[in-house]
Chain A
Amino acid sequence: MPTSKKFMYLNRRAPYGTIYAWESLEVVLIGAAFDQEVSLMFADDGVYQLVKGSDPSEAEMKNFLATYRTLGDYGVRHMFVHQASLEARGLTQADLIEVAWEDLDTEQEVDNIVEVVDTDQAACLIAESEVVFSF
């Protein structure tokens, strides 16, 4: 019986300008197949990955915002966003997408797993994760 570990994907880069955000998302989707306890953390420019309303079609890139919205279906249980990073960029949670989650076995539902956390909480969440992937 394989044991489940606490995985965290730490995202600190803006989307589109570099490949980090897209690569992170790919790894999250791959990792979902292994049935681990998965959380995502968005800090620094990473908070821009979740901003609503992006349209990269004119820049000739794929819009992967829709993929974030499906992460709840891929077993991602928490998407944490660092508050001070939002504030430094003039953003609030109202600017961010919402991601729903449902446990198909228990039918337990959560409307939105995107949660804003302060610096101390973020540090604790990172520290208590057993595996941290940094992007």
Chain B
Amino acid sequence: MADLHTVNKSPFEKNSLEAAIRFSLAGSCILLIEDAVYGALRGTRVEEMVKAAMADKKVYALQSDLLARAIKDDRLIEGVGVVDYAGFVDLVETNDKVQAWL
């Protein structure tokens, strides 16, 4: 049993990412979309929180939103998966349900 948690707000403006991490179970998938993709960057003040979450959760970021924000793969926290729209659909399909954190 695992859920897909989507987050679409910047971690510097709202605590949606922090809430998604705090309220999700081990084994969950967390998909960063829209302004939430800034949470996948290395060298920010939320990096440690994301890394800690990755100990027992899988974190993904949506490719089109990374491209829009000039975030290249080499600037991502190691271990963050990059998915395109088809990959998003796969995540929806393989998890029990989708929980959006706004």
The reply to whether A54 and B68 form a contact with Cβ atoms under 8 Å apart is yes
Question: Are A59 and B68 also in contact (CB < 8 A) when A14-B10, A17-B34, A89-B12 are?
Answer: yes
The reply to whether B38 and A16 form a contact with Cβ atoms under 8 Å apart is no
Q: Which A residues are in CB contact (< 8 Å) with B65?
A: 16, 59
CA distance A51 to B65 in the complex (A): 14
Q: Which A residues are in CB contact (< 8 Å) with B12?
A: 44-45, 88-89
- The distance from the CB of A130 to the nearest CB of chain B, in whole angstroms, is 28
Determine if B67 is an interface residue (Cβ-Cβ < 8 Å).
yes
Q: How many residues on chain A are close to B (CB under 8 Å)?
A: 22
Question: How many residues of B sit at the interface, in one of the four size bands?
Answer: 20 to 34
CA distance A90 to B12 in the complex (A): 12
Q: Mark B25-52, 1 if CB is under 8 A from A, else 0.
A: 0000000001100100111110100000
Determine if A2 is an interface residue (Cβ-Cβ < 8 Å).
no
Q: Mark A48-68, 1 if CB is under 8 A from B, else 0.
A: 100111111111010000000
- The distance from the CB of B11 to the nearest CB of chain A, in whole angstroms, is 10
CA distance A14 to B33 in the complex (A): 13
Partner of A58, one of B34, B41, B67, B72: B67
CA distance A52 to B69 in the complex (A): 9
The reply to whether A16 and B35 form a contact with Cβ atoms under 8 Å apart is yes
Tell me which of B8, B35, B41, B72 has the highest count of chain A C-beta atoms within 10 A of its own C-beta.
B35
Determine if A77 is an interface residue (Cβ-Cβ < 8 Å).
no
Chain B residues proximal to chain A, CB less than 8 Å: 8-10, 12-13, 34-35, 38, 41-45, 47, 63-65, 67-70, 72
A-B contact pairs, 16 of them (CB 8 A): A14-B69, A15-B68, A16-B69, A17-B10, A17-B34, A45-B12, A45-B13, A45-B35, A48-B69, A53-B72, A54-B68, A55-B70, A58-B68, A59-B64, A88-B12, A90-B41
